[in-house]
Amino acid sequence: MEENTKPMTAPETEEEYFINMGPQHPSTHGVLRLLVSLQGEIVKRLDPHLGYIHRGIEKMCEKDTYIQIIHLTDRMDYLSAHMNNEAVCLLVEDALEIEVPERVKYIRTIMAELQRLNSHQLWWATMGMDLGALTTFFYGLRDREKILDIFEETCGGRLLLSYNTPGGVMYDIHPNFQKRVKEFIKYFKERLPEYDQLLTGNVIFQERTKGIGRLTREEAVNYGVTGPSGRGSGFSCDIRKKFPYSAYPYVDFKEILGVDGDALSRYKVRMEEMWESMHIIEQLIDNIPEGPYTAKMKAVLKLPAGEYFQRVETARGELGVYVISDGNKTPYRMKFRSPNMCNLSALDHISRGAKIADLVAIGASFDFVIPDIDR
């Protein structure tokens, strides 16, 4: 069937009507406005309207130094703050050809995986809540709190860490860090099966997600849907495997791929990824090498003229940072390839024909963070 791609201006038939989902709808997890065309309760098509939290980060970057930019990247995908920081730092280090100490690589990877766990916990909590299982919200946030406490002890911040700096990390890890991380892993290994008991096997949950929002592998590639959402469709897109950075080359972990490409498949990929994240942390936590926590850096960083691209895997997919430098201390043009925006572009296609309540399940399974779309 030929898809209707005309701009949504007015309803075309008498049965069709438009409603706005958002920008203040709780299940859009932020200020996303979806203009939805409905026939009865069937979604005919939808059109995302963005910009409610557009801060012009790319414009601001053109005035800021690279060290200042790191603090802006926290505020894009705030649940992957550490990975966003890391992307900019890796790009600067690559451009200036700085070799970071081994200790930094280990710390960064452990922090990134803790951040991924924390993000997936919050996703699980809110996905259950969106589908009417309020208990999950309390379970998820209870366990997430423990990771935030670990972050607070070492980084000072809980949500927006700004812990990475070009060449290393801001401070050395807290003396308690290793002990607390190991305690947390032990604790969470007992809790994660509870998550499965509570939600995964639940009949209502299965009915609401199985076969809903099906995305094939080809479509995922074509739309550029990455991260757990893309891997749920079987698109092997893990940057940690494809272009390993930091300490990922040293660890053994599986890339989880789904088969069905529906909301349940995306859900299962994230659940499995939590086990993999813990597995990665376990391999690194006892082996953090001694040494400095930052390389010797100049006070003013000037990237040689040229173009640089850095890709990292955030909790939601592939983040790309693209810099055109003219040799000054500020970038000439900085572009963030935001994973959420690419994931959002597939939403119209896969929610056609679904019920309006399924749209909530599909949105939850994609795990959107709106500030990352708007930037």
Which stretches of the chain bind another protein, using CB under 8 A?
Answer: 5-8, 47-48, 50-51, 54, 56, 58-59, 219, 221-225, 235-237, 306-309, 311, 318, 320, 322, 324, 332-333, 335, 337, 341-342, 344-346, 349, 374
What are the strands, taking DSSP E only, across 12-95?
16-21, 33-39, 42-49
* Nearest distance from C-beta of residue 274 to another protein, angstroms: 25
* Nearest distance from C-beta of residue 293 to another protein, angstroms: 27
* Nearest distance from C-beta of residue 139 to another protein, angstroms: 34
* Nearest distance from C-beta of residue 89 to another protein, angstroms: 17
Nearer Cβ to another protein (194/218): 218
d(CA 361, CA 347): 12
d(CA 308, CA 325): 8
d(CA 345, CA 359): 14
Question: What DSSP character marks residue 40?
Answer: T
d(CA 179, CA 218): 44
Q: Which of 157, 194, 177, 146 is nearest to 81 (CA)?
A: 157
Nearer Cβ to another protein (140/224): 224
* Nearest distance from C-beta of residue 72 to another protein, angstroms: 15
d(CA 329, CA 327): 7
Using left for φ > 0, alpha for ψ between -120 and 50, and beta otherwise, residue 327 falls in left
Nearer Cβ to another protein (167/224): 224
Nearer Cβ to another protein (140/371): 371
d(CA 264, CA 361): 9
* Nearest distance from C-beta of residue 60 to another protein, angstroms: 10
Nearer Cβ to another protein (195/308): 308
Nearer Cβ to another protein (54/254): 54
* Nearest distance from C-beta of residue 167 to another protein, angstroms: 20
Burial label, 375 (beta-carbon count in 10 A; 0-12, 13-18, 19+) = buried
* Nearest distance from C-beta of residue 344 to another protein, angstroms: 7
* Nearest distance from C-beta of residue 224 to another protein, angstroms: 4
Nearer Cβ to another protein (49/355): 49
Nearer Cβ to another protein (12/183): 12
d(CA 357, CA 35): 15
Nearer Cβ to another protein (93/318): 318
Q: Residue 165 to residues 57, 96, 234, 294: CA-CA distances in angstroms?
A: 19, 14, 35, 8
DSSP 166-213: TTEESSPPPTTHHHHHHHHHHHHHHHHHHHIIIIIT-HHHHHHHTTSS
